[in-house]
Structure 1
Amino acid sequence: MPLIKIHVLKGRESNEIEKLLGAVHDAMVQAFNVPQRDLYQILTEHEPTHLRALDTGLDIPRTRGFVMVEVVTRPRSRDEKTAFYSGLCHMLADRCGIQASDVMVSMTENTDDDWSFGLGRAQFLTGELASHRPGG
């Protein structure tokens, strides 16, 4: 937890995808202070005709390197969120050559009631995760 959904255009090599996934995970671990094993990622590749992301009139140029990141998470502070946005752009630029102008992020917050990691239980509510969750 958090659950990260990543949308990219088709055409990246598998090693590029690995670097991208690693950068997103490391940015999340750093910004949200969660354990390394908090790894829940879904990467979806789209045909160019099936992924559109303009700039809401902000004059932000987009290329084929565009990456859209959806984050589903427990509530985070403004500082944590802005640290994630900037850390993510920095790591994607360093590791993948992806420009900050090609990175878009959307966060959706939910609560402990909204998570089950398996076995038909809500582990945040049962306390199974409470003892070893610094940032959760």
Structure 2
Amino acid sequence: MPLMKFHIYGGWPKEEITTLLDVAHDAMVRSFNVPVRDRYQVLNTYSSETMLIQDTGLDIPRTDRFVLVEVVSRARTTEQKQAFYFNLCEDLLEKCGISSSDVMISVVESSDADWSFGHGRAQFLTNEL
């Protein structure tokens, strides 16, 4: 945990998707101090007709390399979130050639009672985690 959801336009080669997910996980580990094996990622692809992403009036240019990252997580500090935004954008540019103008990130906070990792138990509440 955190759960990372990626939304991209279709057509990316498999190796680029693998690199995207690896880069994002590394940025998460460094920014949120989560264990390396704490990796939960889902990726969805869309056509240009089914995903419309504009710039909220900020004049941010978007391309077909756009990546929306949704993070569902326990509460994190403002500093951790800002570190994640920076680290992810910097790493995606360096390792994937994705401009920071093509990266949108949303963090949604949840409580310990909102997570079950299996077996019908809330492992944060039962102190299994």
TM-score normalised over the length of structure 1: 0.94
**For residue 11 of structure 1, what is the aligned residue in structure 2?**
11
Post-superposition offset of 1:8 = 0.2
Structure 1 unpaired stretches of 5+: 130-136
For each residue in 1:38-86, what CA deviation from the matched residue of structure 2 results, as whole angstroms up to 9, or x when unmatched? 1100000101111111110001000000000000000010000000000
User: How far does residue 95 in structure 1 lie from its aligned partner after superposition?
Assistant: 1.0
Q: Which runs of 5+ in 2 are unaligned?
A: none
SS of the aligned residue for 1:82 comes to helix
Cα distance between partner residues in 2 of 1:5 and 1:110: 15
Residues 1:88 and 2:91 are matched in the alignment: no
Separation (CA, whole Å) in 2 of partners of 1:112 and 1:13: 36
Over 4 Å off, 4+ runs: none
How many correspondences in the alignment? 129
Give the aligned residue type for 2:101: S
